Every structure is written in C-alpha cells, then in structure tokens.
A and B are shown apart, each in its own frame.
Chain A
C-alpha cells in the first residue's frame, strides 16, 4: 500500500522523472582512476546524480540529452548521454588551489574549503633534505613551526608550533601516523611519506582534544596507484663534516696563557706536542641511504612495499647509527561498498652511542698533552719539571683524555618498532560512510654498556700499575656491565561516521561523528648492572649445561631496576560539522570530549569545542571582474585545547625510609611525603586566529597571512608545599598563565617561461611573543635549569619570572673588567660594579632573554630547465640567546680559544678585550651569553633527469647532488647556535655544553623508476 502511494505521488509530481531512462557511466581522471563525488546533471531532465566511490553513476536522463559532469579540481565537461555505458574522462583543472586536499584528522578537506591553519608539506619537500627524521627535513618550510634539531644520528628534533604553552608538561606535538598516535617518528622512512601536515590553530586542532595543545602533525604514508607495477629505487651517499669549528689555542699560546693564570712558569713555551683534540676525536662522517619501493594497483588492490636502509658513520669517532625500515600499505576493494586499508611497518635501529662530553673535553683538554705518550700509554694532563706533559708530573687539570674516553666507551643500543593498522570504510548509503580503524605499535629496545673500570683508571693514571688498583680500591670492581631492556604496546581504535551531501546545489554539508580510544600500554623497563664480567663480550651471558639454565650471577649484580610505568588510557567522542554555502561561505564546528585515565575520577572528562569561519571572497560576483586576484579567502576561528601530558596526580607511598632499631635488622619504613592536588588536570589552551589566503596574477603569487592569540590559562608548575606541611615533594598545581601571540606570513611566486623553464621563489616568516603572564598566589618551587655541571645554573623559573618568556636565562650582568687587576666585574642590584664574591645570588641576577627564538624564517627558490632542476632552501631564527657553556665551564689548566690566548689583560696590555686569566669557577653571567641568531642555507640541490623515454625498462632516472647546510651566518662564537640539548627549555636547550656540532653534508644520489 505504501509503495502504491509513493508511486502515485511520484506519478503526480514528477512526470519528467518517468520519461527518462537510466543512463549509466563512469567518471575517471587522467590516470583512469574513478572520480568519486563527481556531479552529473542532466540539463533538460533536471536530474542530478553523484558518482560513487569508484566514479560510477546512474542518472535518469534521455538519450542524447546533454549531461554536465563537474567536480571540484577538474574542468567541467558536457557530453551527450548514450544508452551504452559512458566513460567520461575529466581533465584536471589548472586551478591547483581547488585540487589540493589537506588532511584534517578523521578525514580530508579540499584546501579551498578549509577554514583552519594547516601547513601541508608534500613528499618531494621532505625527501629533498637528506636527513633521517622528517621533522628535521621540514625545518624552515612551514611558517609558525619551529624545529630545533641536532645532527646527532638518531636524535629527535624539538618541534614547537606557534610557541610554547607549557613549562613542565610535555612539549612535543602529537604525531598521528596513518591514524596511529606516536611520540616519535624516527622509525618512519622519509621516502615512505606522502604528506606531512601540521595542524596549527585551535580550530583545526580541537578534534584532537586533550592531546592537541602542542599542535598535531599528521603523517600519511604512500599507497599504490596507477595500473601497472612500478618500482622506484633511491640511493644516496654523502660525506659530513662540522659546519663550523672553534679555533683553539695551540700549545705555546696555551702555555703562555696558563703561566699567566698561575703566575708561574709551569709550562714551557716551546712545546714539543701540539694536539688538536677536536681533530683527534672526529673523522669525516659518511652516510648512505638505499631505498626500494614497489607499488601499483589493480581493480581490487592497491599495494605499496618499501624497503629502506640508512647507515651513518658519525663525525664523532666510533659513533655509528643504522636503521632498516620495511613498509607495506595495501588497500583492498572488498566490495563496491567496502574498502579495507592495511598498513604495516617494521623499523629496526641500532647504534653505538658515544658520550658527547668528549666534545667538551676536547675543547678543554690542553694541547700540550699528547694523545699517547711515547710508551703507548694515553696522554694525561700532567706536567713535568721541564714544562712538558709527562706521565709522572703533577696534574694540572681534571680533564680526561678525550680519545681514551671514546675508545673505552662501549655501548650498543638496538630497537625494533612495529606499527600496523587496519582501516575499514563502509559506504552504508550514498553520502554516509562508516570508518573503523585499529592501529597498534609495539616497541622493544635493548642496550648494553660495558665500563672497563680498572683499565679506565689505569689509563688516567699512567704511573700506576695493575696491582695498585686493588690496593686503592679493595672492594672496587674490575668492570661493570649494564644491560637494559624496554618494551611497550600502544593501540588505538576509532569508529566514526562521515556524512556528506549537497542540498539544493548550494548547501554542502559534511558531518563526522565518532568515538575513539587510545591506550598507551604499560612501558616495562629492566636495567641490571653486574660487576667483574668476563672481558670477552661473547661470554657475558653463559648457560650452565648441568642445570639447563643460565649461570647464576646474583652475587655480581650491583643494581637491578625493574619498572612497569603506568598505563594511560584515553576515551573520546568527537564530532565535526562542516558547511559550505554557495562555495564561498564556510563554517566548521568541532567538539571533542576526552576522558583521560591520567586524572582523578571527577576531573578526567573535558570538552574541547572549536569553530571556524571562512569566506572565499573571490567567489563573490563583485570579484568576478578582478582578474588579478584568483583566490582570496578570509578565515578565522577559535578553539580550546588540552595538554594531558603533565605530571601525574598519583598519590603514592614513599618507601625506603628504613632504619635499624637498635640491632642489626634493617626495618622497612614507609610514609607519604606528597600531597598531590586531586583536581590536577590537563592544561587548557585557548586560541583565536584569523588568516588570509590569496592567489594572485594567474595563480603565480600565492601566500597567506595568519594572526593568532593563544593563552594557556592553567599552566602546571611545581609549587612549594607549606613548610609546615612536612611534605618534601613539590606539588604540581595549575598556577601559571602563558601567552603566545604571533603572526605568520608565507609567500611563493611560481612561473613558467616558455615550455622548458619554470621557477619559483618563496619564503615564510613568523614571529611569536611568548610570556609567562601570570601566577596564582603561590610560592613556586624554583625550577633551575641549564646546569653547567660546576655548580652554576643559567636558567630560572620562579615567582620572579612573570613577564618573561619561558626558557629565560637568569644571569649576573657582566660589567667588564677592572682595569687595575683584570678581574671580571658584574653589576649588582644597586648598579655597582663588583667582583663575583661580592654578588648576592638572591638579588643580583637578572633575566637576560630566552633560549627560544622569537622569529623563524625560511626561504626557498629554484628552477627547472629541461631536464635540470635546481633549488636552494634556507632557514634562520632571530631573538634567541645561547649560552657558551663549554667556555663558561673552563677551569684552571684547561685550554682556551685562540682569540683569547693573546688578548687578555696584563699590566702591559690594559686595553685587552678579555679579562685577566683566572682559576676560579666563574659565575654564570652575560659574559658567556651570546646571540643565537643565524641564517643557514639548509640545502642546495642540483638534479638531472636522464633523457629516457617513459616506455623504456627504466622509465625515469634522476641524478642529483645535494649540499646540506653548506653555509651559515651566525653571531655565536661556538660550534652551533642551534642547540636542542635535551629538548627542554629549562634543561640544556640553548646551552652549548656536550653538544653535537651542526654538520655540512655533500650528497650524491640517484632516483630510478622502472
């Protein structure tokens, strides 16, 4: 009956409908792939239809009627309808802005329809700079994204997006690799990446809720495409050397300076030895990467396999690093409505680390010390009666032999990371898609460190013999072997629905709603140290055949740590609504609700809303005559984000308060020495931002401008418990407020001259003002940082830090030296010049700027001429301060820089630029603080594509030469002004001490396609 009524109504209302026929066809792109979502409209029947996921469509129209097929990013075509299945090929539109798609989290969006600030970096940009970690490769390529990296193999760059909003919480952005959240992307082969998207503003980030406050980086890996098997081989080899070195004083200048310092004639000024320690501990580094990938697609499967290997012999002697990666990404078309994506990757890294303090020791060790004495023993800093280095002389500094340090250091690390996931897309009805995605990550790590204790001691004391060791250390160990093991399993499950429909041709609606859970499994770590093991590493772990299990080592175990770190879970609901009216008015609304196991029951759920608005001005009629402007889009938004990676509020028993109670039994003691604020929760950041995107002059000039104002209102800092509480542990509490305000500009001009020559030039600039704007009425536990290891610290965060940027140096102000005696002077609080022993640590220090830069900029330019390509990229920062920690650590008898060696105060040289030599530990002062400003050419690439016909066995071959970091201009007198240190602005970031130098690399490579 119902059907009858429907039919009847249809009959009455839609006579035209009945008069047509079902016209079937498929819409494909230039490569033959279906174009889902293409709109087919029949002009006279006034019917429309959408192509499905494969580009197939059915429309009721009359034979011969003109069908108009349109799709964003393609040029619309009109063809006459035929009864035989039609095949319509769409030509991609020249208007690239319409084509570009950005990944926005749980979906994609055409760039032109996006209302948020997202920087997309494509694979070509990532592989261009030949470095291990993709985040290092994107340095300078995205406005507002600051990357502080180190060339130490296997190190992780710090990425700061639109300023730092936390002081003790996690600072790293959230990485989402093919839907899986990870903390580190060192396991991802940069060749496997197809896009690297940086979500920058709150309106884009809010969909990631309580993990999003530091920004989100979404990495998508490659998929197969095309209709035949294609094989790609990429190989390169390169050499590396420090970009900049510091010229040290030679032996005789050293002797002159040290004698002046000691006011003696300890050192002969005609030295037989002149050791360049930096030279002795370094070598020309080399690295290679080989990568093979196989990909393709059939009707039902798209496949991609990749195998990569990276090997580096680092510039520091003995430091090696290797990584092998394998990836397989497949997409299965199970049925018309079901698509299954599977990805899987294995990454195995192994390294033999060496202590970076060797760089400091090489800087400080005296050049008069030989690497080896003539009898083959390691040189030591002892001076004989003749003023030369001698085995038996008297010790003149506490620096070890850096070569011996590296030779004795024996450590290896190996890790394996497995990542994989399944993603199922099911088209429930047209316009409604269900997606279910599961991802997992398994990580295992092992390490050993062998300390040859006795021989190290003997090497440092050449006048001692073997038997002396036992005498001086009756209970000392001969050697110490430390072994570590660590593993974890993390997983992530999300289910969401996506609805997408255009109503009445002008109302384009897309809605997404879903749920997700992310679990960071318990990280297990086992560390065991054993003394007096067999010196032969083959015999460190023996079996006992008589009992069938290992040899009992309990008696030699000196320490054993076995930790299972807390598991954390996140449960979330999310929804997003995107609406586009008439292709020009854009509205986005996002809502995420997260529950985190990190927080107390009543404080674990949070809601993170955001909205975005956009206006594509060029779509307006009044703009249609303005030919010079191809695209003008205004966008803006607001959102709220969280950072749940903060100190946990676990209230715990404190054990180990043991005591004897009158006899020989040690009784266990337990108490509670902390009172965590039960309301401790995530840090909340709110951000408002506006942006303008434009394309001018036939799309040749593109650019955007962004402004943002970000405020983190409940920053967690450690507070001092009331002294009378008796609590000894500092309590993290929501007490601070941090503001980040800034702007970003990016511009790019791209043009062709004739058919053979195309070129581009572009750049970006960003400025951020970071400030601790407020503190609640509490007394903070002072957070000192940037320790120089000699009792001096260079940074401070406490109640006095209000109004300063995070990561600020807190130092005495150097006031020149006293002309009468060459002693260093400092300004005290009253403004008087005093010597360091008259300084008051509580009053006389001042904030002197932050280790975090205020501005970042990048440039890019290049051209393609016939088969040649050439490009240059550069990167620079401004406004950061760096502390010359290695210089500040100098103590009596240690080497000095060449520039200082002859230009210091003496009674005969009152106008010298440096103070008189001194032997005491200098206080941390601005004397050692330098500007961190630099501009560096990151990359120069020259490539040549061999002229090969594309139907050859080898379809393409490109040879290239890369110069990475060929030039730098810097004000800093040390090795590198880019000092990531431990990545902590309150740690060693911005302090050059035990720092790995920035490298210059020359790379030759080839890329072949079959």
Chain B
C-alpha cells in the first residue's frame, strides 16, 4: 500500500516535472495567437493584412476631422465654419494658425499615419512567411503595402518635416529599434525612403486594368508613378516629375468636372488613387467625413466645419464650372433636388463631401480622390515650365482650363505661367487636402494668408508641431520643430 502511494506521488510529480513545459502551454481561445501564422497561409489570408491598410484610410483620425483640420481648415481655402462657439476641439486655432505643440489634430494625424505604417510593416513582415500564397499575389500585395507606406510618409514629411523612419517591425527590447522609433530623420532622408518604397511598388504593381470590379480601389502602377511624380515635385526634381508623369498612362480627364464627386464618378478614367467608401449597410465609409462637413443648423445634416472661404470663392474666374461643383451655397438646390434652407448656419459648405444617398450618415459613400489625372497634367506643366519649357506647359494647363469651361490661359512668360499653374492647382484641387501643403511648397503661404487675413509665421508655420508626448518619449533623441 505504501509503495502504491509513493508511486502515485512520484507519478503525479512527474506530470509537470517530466513535461512541465507542455503542461503549462495553454492554447489561446479568446484571441487568435500570432503564433498561428498558418491560419493566414492562403491567398485570402494574405490579402487580409493589406486590406487592413486600406481600412486605415477610413479611420476618423487618419482621414477625417483632425486631418480636415490640418490639411484644409488651416489653408486659405477654408474657414472653421460651424457655430461660432463650437471650436471642434481645436479647429479655431488651426484656422487662425495659432496652434501650439499640444495640438490634438496634429497629434492624432501623426499617430494615425504611424498606425497605418505599422499595418504596412505588419503586412510586409508576414507576407514572406506565407509560402502557400501565390507568389505573384504576394509580390503585388507587398507592392500595395509599400505604396501606402510611401503615401503615409509623404503625409508625415509634408506635415512635420523629417520624422523617424520605421521601416520594419521593431523587436521588443532591441535598442537599435528603440532608437529607430525615437530618432527623427531629415526630410531628404524621408523623401529618399519614400522614393525607394515607390520604386519597389512600381516594380510589383499591375496596371489598374488588372483589377476586377470589386477591387478597383487597389493601388496600381499608375498610382505609384503619379505619387512618385508628386514626391519629386515637392523635391523640385523637375525632370523626374516629367518622367514619372509620362509613365502615368491609361488615364484621361473626364468631361464633366462635377461628376467626379458623385457616386457615378467613382473610379472614372481620371481617378488614380481613390479612398473608396460604401454607405450601404454594412457601411464602411470615412468616419464622420460627410457629417463633420455637412450643413449645420435647422434643415442641415452635419456639424458644419471646413467651410469654403471668401478667398476661395474669389479665386474662381467667371464661368468656371468648378466653383459650383466645389461649393454648396446656402439656399441653393443641390444636384439631387435637395434644397439647402436659408436656416443653416454658414453661407457655404464643402460640396465634395456631400453624400446624396446617405446625407447625414456617419459613414457615407463619399470617396476622397487623392490623385487625379488632372493633377498629373498640372505637375507636368509645372515641371516643364520650371525647366524652361514654358511652351510645353501651356497646352497642359489649357486642357485643365478648357475642361472647366474656361478659355486658354493668357499667361506666357515663365513667371506668369508658374503663377497661373499654381492658381489652377488651387481651384482644380480645392478641398482635396492639398492646398496648405501646396502653399508651403511653393512659398506662397505668407502672401496667401495675408490676403485671407491671417498671419503665417515663416520659419514656423511651414510645419506642424511634433506631438509633445512623442518628444517626451524620445527623451532627447528628437527635437521639436522650430517655433513650438
């Protein structure tokens, strides 16, 4: 009897001495363990990691209220709008260019883009491990991830200047990776990284025609060339702008400018990179994008922020069809028959954020067209003009003007053509999240804001503040932008 018990004791002891490691290995059941990579080792599984990046563009912080604040309300195209007492957290100070280092919109945009970059890095990290996935698909998905990572770094470098380049998943505990995450690189280094990503994307991505009807929002080779052209434009690499613009093929201007901002204009011949939104249940739209910019007050449907400024209204030449396509005027009847009553609080609203079918919904069917062929033409015109090929630039500019119902430009000198192109960019791309950065890029900011009645402080307002919390986290490895 004694022996039996001793044996039993020893036996039960061996349950976790002999194989102690196994005994305590408990499989997760409430969340999917990252060790189960095999679950995703198939075509659909691999695709999920890239879909998550597209998903990020629908996010509130990434593309909506804060981003509208930084990219639009700050500019001379738009005013804060809404009720005078409703600051929209910080939209009043953005409008007035008086924001400080703890500006919430600057912080949320910074975080959101790095969140997106993490999703790109996660995809780029896992894709090579998914060996059962079609090699071409893997290659293309990696190309999509690199395009979007480049796009996000472009946003960051435009907003904040040089930022830390996180080009791979940091290893916990690695000091090198800690330094990587906390050390700001210079703007040229960031641009070089963006170009490298885009060149990889160009090699991996197909033409847009390769995508089926359900996957038209995936990025294509054309999108990568167009973005590389724009990145080159920001670096004033004029020849590179022209070269890349020339490679954006298979696109054409649509005849009706206004059609681009309606449901029927999704993925038209002019669209190069478009954030796709679906308002039908289950809706996946840009969170709050239409609502925050919708008309406010009795008879309205939204919060009423980001309203077109008088300066923008004045910028349109007589007969320019783009004015009516861009601006909702109080009291007017919209294209779908909706009457905007005179009881709404602001005189003007952003037409490009208006959804006819899901007007007051949080997630609507309004897309954002980040890259259009019209811009490719304008970039090529600008680069040509800068290289002294003004005569080559003018017909490109006229294509845009003519489509808008305007006659040919009267400008002929290089300087005049330069100004004409810049002005054309403004009215062509109003409310497409370009104006503020364009003003900074072209050095027009101080003058333009003066006209708009605001003070642009040179040496400071070119860049937004790096979030104060990041500077704290960096513990001396990174410094704040000047003036904040």
Interface set of A (CB-CB < 8 Å, partner B): 426, 428-429, 434, 436, 493, 495, 497, 515, 517, 522, 563-569, 571, 595-597, 601, 604, 650-653, 655, 657-673, 675, 677-679, 720, 722-728, 777, 779, 842
25 A-B residue pairs with Cβ-Cβ distance under 8 Å, sorted by A, are A428-B6, A429-B2, A515-B12, A566-B30, A567-B27, A569-B23, A571-B24, A652-B34, A657-B119, A659-B52, A659-B58, A660-B217, A660-B284, A661-B276, A662-B266, A662-B276, A666-B284, A672-B118, A673-B115, A678-B172, A722-B178, A722-B470, A723-B470, A724-B182, A724-B470
Residue from B49, B102, B117, B214 within 8 A of A662 (CB atoms): B214
Stretch from B73-81, B134-142, B163-171 at the A interface = B163-171
Question: In the assembled complex, how far is the CB of residue B134 from the closest CB belonging to chain A, in whole angstroms?
Answer: 17
Of all A-B residue pairs in the complex, the 9 with the closest CB atoms, nearest first, are A726-B118, A662-B216, A663-B214, A652-B31, A669-B52, A657-B52, A669-B51, A662-B217, A571-B16
The answer to the question of B47 belonging to the interface, with a C-beta cut-off of 8 Å to chain A, is yes
**Bound CA–CA A565/B56 (angstroms):** 28
Q: Which residue of A lies closest to B31 (CB)?
A: A652
B475 in the interface (beta carbon within 8 A): yes
B32/A723 in contact, CB under 8 A: no
Do B117 and A779 touch (CB < 8 A)? no
- Chain A nearest CB from B205 CB (Å) reads 14
Sort chain B's interface into a size bin.
35 or more
Note all chain B residues with C-beta closer than 8 A to A429. Answer: 2
Question: B335 near A: Cβ within 8 Å?
Answer: no
CA distance A655 to B469 in the complex (A): 28
Q: How far is the CA of A601 from the CA of B115 in the complex (A)?
A: 29
Contact, CB under 8 Å: B5 / A726: no
**B26–chain A nearest beta-carbon distance, Å:** 4
Given A426-B5, A665-B214, A724-B181: A777 touches B166 (CB 8 Å cut-off): no
Chain A residues near B475 (CB, 8 Å)? Answer: 777
Contact partners of B332 in chain A: CB under 8 A? none
Does residue B122 face the partner (Cβ distance < 8 Å to A)?
yes
The answer to whether B52 touches A663 (Cβ under 8 A) is: no
**What residues of chain A lie closer than 8 Å to B467, measured between beta carbons?**
723
Residues of chain A lying within 8 A (CB to CB) of residue B44: 668
- The answer, yes or no, to whether B89 is at the interface (CB within 8 Å) is no
Instruction: Tell me if A568 and B26 are in contact (CB < 8 A).
Output: yes
A495 near B9: Cβ-Cβ < 8 Å: yes
B96 to nearest A CB, angstroms? 19
Contact partner of B121 among A517, A655, A720, A726, CB < 8 A? A726
Beyond A569-B24, A671-B52, whether A722 also contacts B182 by CB under 8 A is yes
Known: A657-B119, A659-B52, A722-B181. 12 other contacts (CB 8 A): A517-B15, A569-B23, A571-B24, A595-B16, A657-B56, A658-B55, A664-B280, A675-B170, A675-B172, A725-B114, A726-B116, A726-B119
Question: Given A651-B34, A657-B55, A597–B218 Cβ distance below 8 Å?
Answer: no
> Is B470's CB under 8 angstroms from A659's CB?
no
Q: Contact: B473 with A661, CB < 8 Å?
A: no
Q: Binary interface profile of B, 31-60, with partner A (CB < 8 Å = 1, else 0)?
A: 111110000100010011101111110100
Whether B214 and A670, one on each chain, are in contact in the complex, defined by CB atoms closer than 8 angstroms, is: no
Query: Interface residues of B: mostly helix, strand, loop or mixed?
Result: helix
A497: nearest chain-B partner, CB-CB? B9
Residue-by-residue, is B1-23 near A (CB-CB < 8 Å gives 1, otherwise 0)?
11001101100110110001101
Most buried by B among A436, A515, A777: A515
With contacts A436-B8, A597-B24, A726-B121 taken as known, whether A661 is within 8 angstroms of B48 at the C-beta atoms is no
In the complex where A436-B8, A564-B29, A727-B118 touch, is A669 in contact with B48 (Cβ < 8 A)? yes
Tell yes or no: B25 within 8 A of A by CB. yes
Question: How close is B303's CB to chain A, nearest CB, in angstroms?
Answer: 18
B51 touches A724 (CB 8 A): no
Q: How far is the CA of A665 from the CA of B47 in the complex (A)?
A: 14
By a CB distance below 8 angstroms, the chain B residues around A679 are 173
Q: How far is the CB of A428 from chain B (nearest CB, A)?
A: 5
Which chain A residue shows the least CB distance to B45? Answer: A670
Contact, CB under 8 Å: A659 / B51: yes
* Given A657-B55, A723-B110, also A597-B25 (CB < 8 A): yes
Complex Cα spacing A875 to B33, Å: 49
Q: Is the CB of A661 within 8 A of B215?
A: yes
Chain B contacts for A720, CB-based, 8 A: 469, 473
Q: In the complex, A493 Cα to B166 Cα: how many Å?
A: 49
Bitwise, B130-167 to A at CB < 8 A (1) or not (0) is: 00000000000000000000000000000000011010
Interface set, chain B 64-83, CB cutoff 8 A to A: none
A426 to B114, CA, bound (A): 64
Chain A residue with the shortest CB-CB distance to B274: A662
Closest A-chain residue to B214, C-beta based?
A663
What A residues does B102 contact at CB under 8 A? 842
Query: Which A residue's beta carbon lies closest to that of B119?
Result: A671
A567 neighbours in B (Cβ, 8 Å):
26-27, 29
Collect the chain B residues with CB atoms within 8 Å of residue A563's CB: 30
Query: B282 interface residue, CB < 8 Å from A?
Result: yes
Q: Are A652's CB and B28's CB within 8 A?
A: yes
Q: Is the CB of A571 within 8 A of B20?
A: yes
Is the CB of B267 closer than 8 A to any CB of chain A? Answer: yes
**B217 partner residues in chain A, CB cutoff 8 A:** 660-662
Shortest distance from the beta carbon of B483 to any chain A beta carbon, whole Å:
20
B115 x A669 contact (CB < 8 A): no
B166 interface neighbour in A595, A661, A725, Cβ under 8 Å: A725
Indicate whether A596 sits within 8 Å of B24 (C-beta atoms), given known contacts A661-B217, A777-B475: yes
Q: How far is the CA of A715 from the CA of B414 in the complex (A)?
A: 67
* Closest-CB distance, A838 to chain B (whole angstroms): 15
Which of A515, A569, A662, A666 meets B13, CB within 8 Å?
A515
- Across the interface, which residues of B come within 8 angstroms of A726, CB to CB? 114-119, 121, 166
CB of B32 within 8 A of CB of A653, answer yes
Chain A residues with Cβ below 8 Å from B53 are 669, 671
Is B484 positioned at the interface, with any CB of A under 8 Å from its CB?
no
Q: Name the one of B13, B20, B214 contacting A595, with C-beta atoms under 8 angstroms.
A: B20
**Residue from A495, A595, A668, A728 in contact with B8 in the complex, judged by beta carbons closer than 8 Å:** A495
Assess whether B321 is interfacial by the CB under 8 Å rule.
no
Whether A667 contacts B276 by the Cβ 8 Å rule is no
B118 pairs with A671, CB closer than 8 A: yes
CB proximity of B397 to chain A, nearest CB, Å: 31
Q: Is B278 an interface residue (CB 8 A)?
A: yes
Q: Does B55 lie within 8 Å of A652, measured CB to CB?
A: no
Does the CB pair A725–B118 fall under 8 Å?
A: yes
Chain B, range 432-484, C-beta contacts under 8 Å to A:
467, 469-470, 472-473, 475
State in angstroms the CA–CA spacing of A307 and B47 once bound together.
60
Query: CB within 8 A of B49: which of A426, A651, A665, A670?
Result: A670
Per the bound structure, the CA–CA distance linking A841 and B115 in Å amounts to 27
What's the least CB distance linking A524 to chain B, in Å? 9
